[in-house]
Structure 1
């Protein structure tokens, strides 16, 4: 099993692990996420997250930049009117919650530092795997926005060993409701683009891309529909995306990223940085309960 998972990640850039979570465990996380939506219905302002528009709020707002050690809430662009009012029911208004669920929320912490995650990290041959961020992704019906083709290393650059993403479907992910599409083997072509902290402190944009967005042919993508409870491991350099959810069913997922700390460098140009309240904790030695 050790060689199977590691070899497949190195060969294809991703690995599908079915039944990573049981149905009841998925339901527990979904229930927590729906509670989040009740807490933020009257929030003002309502920070928007969009991967499609690089000028959206997240690239210049302190709320995003300072979310490394908090549980922060980001809304769908299609859910908020120009005057900041919700256009949809609060239960389907959020795009994501991040980026310190794994540290601060007891239930998400329990699953992130579980024996299952430890076992996978060992099978990948990681010596000091450390979690750097976590996100709950809603992908709500009708308003669940497109995630454009990207590599996780664009945002969480490490060298020489790329990060690994754990993407866990908490509801069935189908082509109609926005499952992942992946370019098999694309991780072998290096990092195509990076998002960097802007060295120009006078600029309104805290973050900038070092290159224009690459263009990937649609024919190179393979859809990866999965049942709830499935974990997709993503090599940091593999190109992947998901479409706008135009169905009537949501596609909730929990995702977090692990880096190798031993003999590896986490770039100080990355938007997210380790801090006293957001340490990159070792998966093997971190307790599930504080």
Structure 2
């Protein structure tokens, strides 16, 4: 039985996102969470790299050390933290497992349980049905959305940070490892907003300058009433077009909202911008989704 129908494909193309329940079973979700618990328990982050994460990159890249830590994370597994979890010396103020905002950006390459999900037959199936001929995996992240402190993600388009020519060649795959609800920070979308292009890009700054990135253009202002909520059950998946506007609120609940997410790009007749913060490396070229 096909995991995705033609009707659902058309809805994705119309809205710019699609909720697909039942991608993973509960045991598969728990296996990812259990492996992540081990990774967090073993994490060793230098004091100068204990970086609080914000989608506003100016906040994240405050110091040269944290900037380097972020900019060189595309082919590594690195840790980014919620605000207010360290004292002035960089010591944890909360249990370390409650401190992390996200881990990225190469879980798909170095962690077998995440790699298997990324390259699973279901992912390959819907990619083929969406006409991805030569898709590659460009990055992956595990997002925690910690209870009570999981930060707000402001309205944005992924193509702002993962720019291609032509546009429309990047898709996010967002897998809920716990129920994602309005209370704990599920995603919200503006349906159809992927058809209006982008007005802002984050690019690498000239070599030797600091901060290491800068924005070109500015984000549009979006009316709250345009956003539609997209709750999803544990094991469900959301496909996210690279240009659709989306956001999530702060998690003010007592329940976390763990997610594994990755981005794929159609590499056929596509140019990945050399100005993107994320670049393939000799150690880790963008791997093919279909192998």
TM above 0.5, yes or no, is yes
CA distance in structure 1 between the partners assigned to 2:159 and 2:12 by the alignment: 15
Deviation of 1:42 after TM superposition, in Å, equals 6.9
Aligned to 2:272: 266
Aligned to 2:16: 13
**Is residue 55 of structure 1 aligned with residue 62 of structure 2?**
no
CA distance in structure 2 between the partners assigned to 1:29 and 1:244 by the alignment: 23
**Is residue 115 of structure 1 aligned with residue 118 of structure 2?**
no
**Is residue 29 of structure 1 aligned with residue 32 of structure 2?**
yes
**Is residue 167 of structure 1 aligned with residue 174 of structure 2?**
yes
**Is residue 227 of structure 1 aligned with residue 241 of structure 2?**
no
Q: What value does the CA root-mean-square deviation take over the aligned residues?
A: 1.7
CA distance in structure 2 between the partners assigned to 1:15 and 1:112 by the alignment: 17
Aligned to 2:95: 89
Deviation of 1:162 after TM superposition, in Å, equals 2.7
Is the Cα–Cα contact under 8 Å of residues 137 and 253 in structure 1 kept in the other structure?
Answer: yes
Deviation of 1:57 after TM superposition, in Å, equals 2.6
**TM-score (normalizing by structure 1):** 0.93
Is the Cα–Cα contact under 8 Å of residues 136 and 265 in structure 2 kept in the other structure?
Answer: yes
Aligned to 1:197: 204
Deviation of 1:70 after TM superposition, in Å, equals 0.5
CA distance in structure 1 between the partners assigned to 2:273 and 2:106 by the alignment: 19
CA distance in structure 2 between the partners assigned to 1:173 and 1:196 by the alignment: 31
Aligned to 1:66: 72
CA distance in structure 2 between the partners assigned to 1:260 and 1:2 by the alignment: 21
The number of aligned residues is 284
Change (3 A) 1:2 1:279: farther
CA distance in structure 1 between the partners assigned to 2:69 and 2:251 by the alignment: 26
CA distance in structure 2 between the partners assigned to 1:216 and 1:270 by the alignment: 25
Change (3 A) 1:174 1:241: same
**Is residue 207 of structure 1 aligned with residue 213 of structure 2?**
yes
- Deviations along 1:143-168, one digit per CA (max 9) or x if unpaired, are 21111111000011112233000000
Q: Which structure 2 residues correspond to residues 94-109 of structure 1 after superposition, within 5 A?
A: 94-109=100-115
Which ranges of structure 1 fall in alignment gaps of 5 or more residues?
none
Aligned to 1:149: 155
SS of aligned partner of 1:172: coil
Aligned to 2:248: 242
SS of aligned partner of 1:96: strand
SS of aligned partner of 2:58: coil
Is the Cα–Cα contact under 8 Å of residues 157 and 244 in structure 2 kept in the other structure?
Answer: yes
Aligned to 2:189: 182
